[in-house]
């Protein structure tokens, strides 16, 4: 029906003379055949190795028949909840249901279930008792061992058990999925496939586990969260393919979940091969009448140049999913893809991004990593750059220059995150200068996240003095180049370690900067991050020290309101926060004050006053801030 796309119905199979597919891939996203979508990459990799793959996108999980539309696969069902964890996709940090889903046709919400991997796995197992089930994608990868689940506020078992799947392919999965396919195709029973790196399996025979590290058992961790912090520390130290060991987690009834060490990183030739597969680079045409798939607009004219990240931010799951070793594509591969973009009828001359998890990482952080792996107990950039760090941007700069020179290309933007401490560690300013001159669209988005060094240490981010140096240099380069471009800092409220005191410090910093962010990210505890372990246990798993955790929704609202103290809607929350922090000196009309006194109130009195007319008060607050901004400018 649709030449080039993988089969999505029986008619597609008949037109290709396929009686039975080797794999049926069940996905929580719409079917988008583009290398930014995990299901497309895994399907095309399998196809390149001679396997026939069909797609069931967003099946009706309340209808058993929805899982049978492509028949029984010869080798296995594959499952992915989608490019996002289904719970992050569905809910905001305040656990309110989102109204839109960018990965669904027309942006319609509610087309996948909560905990999609588990629901799809049980749906398949109900109908097909004996077909192997392999789960993967970000949801399965980050829930592969016992984990804290923010949305239910419970400590959960490995998703392998709750989904009734046989194997998890964790991480990026290109290598492990081919090895799994070959093992199944050779006739090995799925219960005997225990030897493939980058996979998690379950067993009743612990005596067969070779050279494994035994983690605390599930029941012990459930009863004692500190044991989970200890377990996570061990898991965090074993995410490297060169030094990582097998990890074993015991469950009641004699079941053991075993995580094999990660797969080796892809070399440049392997990365190139993955991105040069015959993707259609579009969503399935059947979605056109429903308005297409909104998510493709973000990536259609962007280029992926790397994967992996040695940044080590505590709130980021990249260490667990892609690993710390940076892997890159060749210039030739990226330029060939760029030329394809320029031939698209909708291309307007702008490449929206050239990057990855961190745009300016184009090689491993030091020479030893591809031989000996990353350091177990040491980060490359935190708390300060390692003396062995290879901080240079020459390869990335050369790539960007080639892209700028392509016919029909007007501008090449960089919208992936720039790690500013790594940028400053480079003694050569050439990249920084050209970044400012050619690759910023008026505003450069960076992520200092906070200004309190106490909080930044918990975040795994550089101290605030580093960001100040970056700001000064950015401003100086703009002045030298005769440009007026701005920094847009991403800031996070309520991260573990942040009390109202640190939230007030951040508000004062923004006051002095004369800036109020339009968007603020309240800390969102997602599975398998250092920060989420802190949130759940009150312990930093890196050194087992106690951490203050803001869990009270009202205090979280106050911390968030302080960052946007100029917004009249936040006035009462800001006043309450300042009084709670014993900083009534910031309420009034002085130059240093954050908010004015309410009408008829004495500065810092802390007494409840009669509320003036709401609209009049908002107008007064706006006028005060307007005068302050004018004075500051």
Distance CA 413, CA 441 (A): 7
8 Å CB contact between 282 and 331: no
8 Å CB contact between 126 and 514: no
Which residues pair with residue 283 across a beta bridge? Answer: 32
Site of tokens 């984990």? 147
DSSP strand pairing (212-214 vs 302-304) = unpaired
Residue burial 195-210, b: 16+ Cβ < 10 Å; e: rest: ebbbbbbbbeeeeebe
For domain 10-197, the CATH architecture is 3-Layer(aba) Sandwich (3.40)
Residue 2 has pLDDT above 70, yes or no: no
CA nearest 249: which of 268, 273, 227, 266?
227
Residue 484 has pLDDT above 90, yes or no: yes
Structure confidence at residue 367 (pLDDT): 87
8 Å CB contact between 329 and 272: yes
DSSP H or E segment with residue 33: strand 32-33
Residue 623 has pLDDT above 80, yes or no: no
Structure confidence at residue 611 (pLDDT): 43
Q: What is the pTM of this model?
A: 0.92
114: left (phi over 0), alpha (psi -120 to 50) or beta: beta
Structure confidence at residue 377 (pLDDT): 82
8 Å CB contact between 284 and 33: yes
Q: Of all residues in the chain, what percent carry a pLDDT higher than 70?
A: 94
Per residue in 293-349, pLDDT (tens digit) is: 999 998 999 999 999 999 999 999 998 999 999 999 999 999 999 999 999 999 999
DSSP H stretches of helix in 343-414: 369-372, 394-404
Per residue in 364-396, pLDDT (tens digit) is: 999 888 888 999 888 999 999 999 999 999 999
Mean pLDDT computed over every residue of the chain: 93
Distance CA 616, CA 408 (A): 54
CA nearest 159: which of 132, 133, 175, 135?
135
Average pLDDT score over residue span 220-239? 97
Residue burial 31-43, b: 16+ Cβ < 10 Å; e: rest: bbbbbbbbbbbbb
Six-digit token string for 587:
């309420």
Site of tokens 């008949």? 14
Distance CA 462, CA 314 (A): 12
42 contact partners, CB below 8 Å, separation of at least 6:
25, 78, 80, 136, 173, 174, 177
DSSP string, 415-481: -SPP-HHHHHH-S--HHHHHHHHHS-SSEEEEEEE-S-HHHHHHHT---HHHHHHHHHHHHHHHHHH
How far CA 533 is from CA of 94, 132, 499, in Å, comes to 18, 32, 18
Structure confidence at residue 319 (pLDDT): 87
Q: Please, which pLDDT band fits residue 608 given cuts at 50, 70 and 90? A: very low
Structure confidence at residue 1 (pLDDT): 45
User: How far from chain centre, in Å, is Cα 497?
Assistant: 21
Per residue in 510-557, pLDDT (tens digit) is: 999 888 888 889 999 999 999 999 999 999 999 999 999 999 999 999
Pairwise pLDDT comparison (604 vs 406), residue with the higher score: 406
Backbone phi, then psi, for 504, in 5-degree steps? -65, -40
CA nearest 236: which of 197, 370, 228?
228
Structure confidence at residue 298 (pLDDT): 87
Site of tokens 């940028």? 423
Distance CA 328, CA 174 (A): 15
CA nearest 124: which of 169, 164, 83, 181?
164
56 contact partners, CB below 8 Å, separation of at least 6:
8, 24, 25, 26, 27, 66, 67, 69, 70
Query: Which contacts of 91-98 are long-range, i.e. CB under 8 A and separated by 24 or more positions?
Result: 91/151, 93/521, 93/522, 93/523, 93/524, 94/522, 94/553, 95/151
Structure confidence at residue 603 (pLDDT): 47
Distance CA 281, CA 284 (A): 9
DSSP H or E segment with residue 248: strand 246-251
Per residue in 139-192, pLDDT (tens digit) is: 999 999 999 999 999 999 999 999 999 999 999 999 999 999 999 999 999 999
Structure confidence at residue 517 (pLDDT): 86
User: Poorest-confidence range of 468-472, 485-489, 599-603?
Assistant: 599-603
Pairwise pLDDT comparison (620 vs 492), residue with the higher score: 492
Q: Please, which pLDDT band fits residue 604 given cuts at 50, 70 and 90? A: very low
Query: Which contacts of 404-410 are long-range, i.e. CB under 8 A and separated by 24 or more positions?
Result: 404/438, 406/335, 406/338, 406/339, 406/342, 407/342, 408/342, 408/347, 408/349, 409/338, 409/342, 409/349, 409/350, 409/351, 410/348, 410/349, 410/350
Distance CA 128, CA 76 (A): 10
Cα 249–Cα 130–Cα 259 angle in degrees, nearest 5: 20
CA nearest 565: which of 497, 505, 632, 610?
505
Per residue in 36-62, pLDDT (tens digit) is: 999 999 999 999 999 999 999 999 999
Could you give the residue range(s) of every CATH 3.40.50.280 domain in the chain?
Answer: 10-197
Q: Please, which pLDDT band fits residue 616 given cuts at 50, 70 and 90? A: low
């Amino acid at each position: 029906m649709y030449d080039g796309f993988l089969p999505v119905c029986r008619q597609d199979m008949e037109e290709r003379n396929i009686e039975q597919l080797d794999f049926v891939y069940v996905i929580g996203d719409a079917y988008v055949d583009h290398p930014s979508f995990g299901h497309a990459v895994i399907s095309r990799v399998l196809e390149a190795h001679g396997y026939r793959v069909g797609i069931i996108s967003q099946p009706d999980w309340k209808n058993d028949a929805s899982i049978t539309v492509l028949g029984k696969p010869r080798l296995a069902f594959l499952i992915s909840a989608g490019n996002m964890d289904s719970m992050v996709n569905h809910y905001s940090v305040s656990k309110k249901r989102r109204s839109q889903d960018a990965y669904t046709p027309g942006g319609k919400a509610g087309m996948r279930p909560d905990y999609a991997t588990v629901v799809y796995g049980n749906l398949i197992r109900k109908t097909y008792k004996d077909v192997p089930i392999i789960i993967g994608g970000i949801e399965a990868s980050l829930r592969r061992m016992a984990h804290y689940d923010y949305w239910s506020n419970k400590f959960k078992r490995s998703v392998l058990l709750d989904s009734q799947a046989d194997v998890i392919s964790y991480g990026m999965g290109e290598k492990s999925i081919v090895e799994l396919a070959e093992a199944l195709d050779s006739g090995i029973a799925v219960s005997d496939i225990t030897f493939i790196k980058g996979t998690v399996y379950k067993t009743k025979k612990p005596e067969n586990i070779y050279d494994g590290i035994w983690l605390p058992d599930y029941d012990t961790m459930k009863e004692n969260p500190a044991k989970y912090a200890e377990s996570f520390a061990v898991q965090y130290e074993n995410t490297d393919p060169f030094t990582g060991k097998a990890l074993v987690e015991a469950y009641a009834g004699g079941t053991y979940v075993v995580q094999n060490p990660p797969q080796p990183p892809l070399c440049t030739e392997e990365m190139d091969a993955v991105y040069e597969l015959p993707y259609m680079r579009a969503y399935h045409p059947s979605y056109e009448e429903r308005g297409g798939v909104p998510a493709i607009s973000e990536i259609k004219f962007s280029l992926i140049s790397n994967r992996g990240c040695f940044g080590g931010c505590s709130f980021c799951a990249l260490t667990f999913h892609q690993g710390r070793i940076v892997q890159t594509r060749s210039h030739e591969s990226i330029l060939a893809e760029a030329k394809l973009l320029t031939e698209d009828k909708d291309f307007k001359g702008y490449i929206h991004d050239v990057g990855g998890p961190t745009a300016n990482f184009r090689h491993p952080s030091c020479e030893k990593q591809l031989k000996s792996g990353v350091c177990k107990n040491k980060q490359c950039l935190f708390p300060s750059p390692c003396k062995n760090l290879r901080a240079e941007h020459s390869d990335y700069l050369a790539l960007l220059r080639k892209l700028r020179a392509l016919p029909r290309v007007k501008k090449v933007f960089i919208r992936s995150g720039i790690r500013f401490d790594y940028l400053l560690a480079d003694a050569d300013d050439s990249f920084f200068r050209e970044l400012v001159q050619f690759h910023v669209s008026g505003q450069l988005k960076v992520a200092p996240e906070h200004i309190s060094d106490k909080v930044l240490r918990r975040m795994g981010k550089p101290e605030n003095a580093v960001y100040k140096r970056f700001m000064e240099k950015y401003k100086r380069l703009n002045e030298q180049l005769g440009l007026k471009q701005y920094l847009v800092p991403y800031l996070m409220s309520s991260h573990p370690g942040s009390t109202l005191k640190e939230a007030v410090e951040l508000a004062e910093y923004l006051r002095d900067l004369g800036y109020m962010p339009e968007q603020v990210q309240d800390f969102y505890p997602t599975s398998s991050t250092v920060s989420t372990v802190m949130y759940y246990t009150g312990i930093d798993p890196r050194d087992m020290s106690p951490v203050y955790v803001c869990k009270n929704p009202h205090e979280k609202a106050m911390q968030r309101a302080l960052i946007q103290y100029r917004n009249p809607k936040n006035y009462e929350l800001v006043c309450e926060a300042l009084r709670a922090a014993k900083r009534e000196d910031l309420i009034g009309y002085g130059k240093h004050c954050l908010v004015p006194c309410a009408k008829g109130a004495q500065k810092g009195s802390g007494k409840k006053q009669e509320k003036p007319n709401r609209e009049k008060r908002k107008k007064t607050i706006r006028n005060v801030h307007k005068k302050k901004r004018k004075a500051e400018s």
